[in-house]
Structure 1
Amino acid sequence: MEQQTNLSENNIPDLVDRLSAFLDLPIPPDCRPGVIANLERTATIAQLVLDFPLPETIEPSPVFQP
């Protein structure tokens, strides 16, 4: 099952603005390009994880074994 993050270069700046307002976390104008670039990188990495195929029968391990 392939999942999509639904993030693209077109909507990431809008998402940054909306999240900033929602969290009441002002982003200085000179920092905004860096925040957008980092979210783009994060979305790319997340898509690699989401695209990794897992069998339908997989179950989480009940006990942590390092």
Structure 2
Amino acid sequence: MAEPLDDYIDAVGRALSLPIEDSWRPAVRANLEVSLKMAKLVDEFSLADEAEPASVFTA
């Protein structure tokens, strides 16, 4: 039975016409798992309504 991430990998591969070799699947899946964990941390971090974006300085 396919896992949701495996289905996602298949769907994105088809949408982008990107062949994904079976040998790559574990690495692609691991990368997605880490990316989703990091995204969840950012999404769950609450900010006060008065929070302002940081200034951007360039040289």
- TM above 0.5, yes or no, is yes
**Distance apart, 1:60 and its partner CA:** 3.5
One-letter amino acid matched to 1:64: V
CA RMSD of aligned residues (A): 1.7
Displaced runs of 4 or more, over 6 A:
none
One-letter amino acid matched to 2:56: F
Q: How many equivalent residue pairs?
A: 56
Q: Does 1:41 align with 2:34?
A: yes
Decide which structure has the larger Cα Rg and report it.
Answer: 2
Determine which structure has the larger helix proportion and give its number: 2
Q: Show the counterpart of 2:49.
A: 56
Bigger relative CO (Cα 8 Å, ≥ 6 apart): 1
Provide TM-score, normalisation by structure 2.
0.78
Whole-Å separation in 1 of the counterparts to 2:10 and 2:49: 37
Unaligned runs of 5+ in 2: none
Percent identity of equivalent pairs: 36
